[in-house]
Amino acid sequence: MKVAVYWGCVIPTIQYGYEMSVRAVMPRLGIELIDLDNVSCCGTPVQSVNMLAALYLAARNLATAEKTGLSDLLLPCNGCYLSLSEAKHFLSHDEKLKEEINSLLKEENLRYEGSIKIWHTINLLHDLIKEEKIREAVKNPLNCLKLAVHYGCHILRPSTLQTVDDPENPRKMDELIEWMGAKSMSYPEKLDCCGYMLLLSHPDAAFTFAGLKLKAVQDWGADALVVSCPSCQMMFDMRQKSAGATIGAKLGIPVLYCTQLLGIAMGIETEKLGLHLNRSALDEFLRKASLISTAASP
């Protein structure tokens, strides 16, 4: 099945481990990813400055995806998922706004119809590929692992939109992890935010958000934190040291993408999944799952 993919800004410019692992696992699960030409930022970073410009950017990317004629679009980034699902919602409820946006899109011979269905990595795996196919693809069940999942705010809320899962009691990522053979633990901080949106303007506050959640996950005894959003990964993995320093705690919790974990369970080489790019303490985690043998030698 062919699915268009829109990577946004953060994934293809710095969060390469997510892109690599999505590109590695999807074809093996029967999904052929079709990259889009001439897309742009999803609009999220512009929402605070100019709502109309943000909506235009979101609609422009949807219109570009619709031009391929494909019926499904994958948005691996939570921020992009929110921005594009919000645009779909606004434009389907306001005919006048839709015509205004379309008159702006005409400049580039684009037209937004609202026909393409959007997916995030988590519901694409859970609801489209489904349990049987995923269980079949798991060659290396992760039986010995106890994991904490972090969904990220922007695929869960607000429930007035088409969200990926239940906003207060999400289960899809937990179930994906169970299908891989691992245990997903329940913990009180599960829905807490990573703080990323404050990183540039209020870094201490952002690192406090991230640090407190990481410390909780570490203290509950998880083997790793599993995420599905590039911004959350930036906070929990890339900036874990700063987060620990900010809250005055020593943190050493491995953090990886859901698709990286799935790739491990499917027996894909760790370097193909970009696992050498994660900054958090992943080596011990990979050893624990007796997976280090599949990693490329130094």
Partner 1 sequence: MKMLELKPHEIVNLARLGFIEEIITSGILWTCATCLKCKERCPQAVAPVDLIFALRNLAVEKEAKVPESFLHSLSAILETGFIQKPQNTVTRKLEKVNREKLGLPRFRESDEKFKAAFFKVLEKSQEE
The DSSP bridge partners found for residue 255 are: 225
Long-range CB contacts (< 8 A, 24+ apart) of 52-56? Answer: 54/83, 55/87, 55/90, 55/91, 55/97, 55/101, 56/101, 56/104, 56/105
In the complex with partner 1, the residue whose CB is nearer, 178 or 192, is 192
Candidate segments 88-96, 181-189, 198-206, 258-266, binder of partner 1 by CB under 8 A: 198-206
Q: How many residues bind partner 1 (CB under 8 A)?
A: 65
Asked whether 240 and 279 are in contact (CB, 8 A), the reply is yes
CB-based contacts of 291, cutoff 8 Å, min separation 6: 140, 264, 270
Residue 28 found at the interface with partner 1 (CB under 8 A): no
Q: How far apart are CA 215 and CA 221, in angstroms?
A: 10
Distance of closest approach, residue 197 Cβ to partner 1, in angstroms = 5
Q: How far apart are CA 206 and CA 198, in angstroms?
A: 5
Burial of 297 (0-12, 13-18, 19+ CB in 10 A): exposed
Residue 198 found at the interface with partner 1 (CB under 8 A): yes
Residue 277 found at the interface with partner 1 (CB under 8 A): yes
CB-based contacts of 218, cutoff 8 Å, min separation 6: 251, 252, 253
Distance of closest approach, residue 178 Cβ to partner 1, in angstroms = 26
In the complex with partner 1, the residue whose CB is nearer, 16 or 69, is 16
Q: How far apart are CA 258 and CA 235, in angstroms?
A: 16
Tell me, residue by residue from 104 to 123, as one string, x for binding to partner 1 by CB under 8 A and - for no binding. Answer: xx-xx---------------
**Token pair for 93:** 């409820």
Distance of closest approach, residue 8 Cβ to partner 1, in angstroms = 8
Residue 237 found at the interface with partner 1 (CB under 8 A): no
In the complex with partner 1, the residue whose CB is nearer, 76 or 211, is 211
In the complex with partner 1, the residue whose CB is nearer, 193 or 291, is 193
Asked whether 92 and 84 are in contact (CB, 8 A), the reply is no
In the complex with partner 1, the residue whose CB is nearer, 35 or 99, is 35
Q: How far apart are CA 215 and CA 101, in angstroms?
A: 45
Distance of closest approach, residue 75 Cβ to partner 1, in angstroms = 15
Residue 169 found at the interface with partner 1 (CB under 8 A): no
Candidate segments 34-42, 66-74, 112-120, 140-148, binder of partner 1 by CB under 8 A: 34-42
Q: Measured between alpha carbons, how far is residue 223 from residues 143, 144, 183, 219, 252 in Å?
A: 12, 9, 10, 10, 10
Write out the residues near partner 1 by the rule CB under 8 A: 9-10, 12-14, 16, 19-20, 23, 35, 37-41, 45-53, 56-57, 60, 104-105, 107-108, 153-154, 157-160, 167-168, 191, 193, 195-198, 200-202, 204-206, 208-209, 211, 246-248, 274, 276-279, 282-283, 298
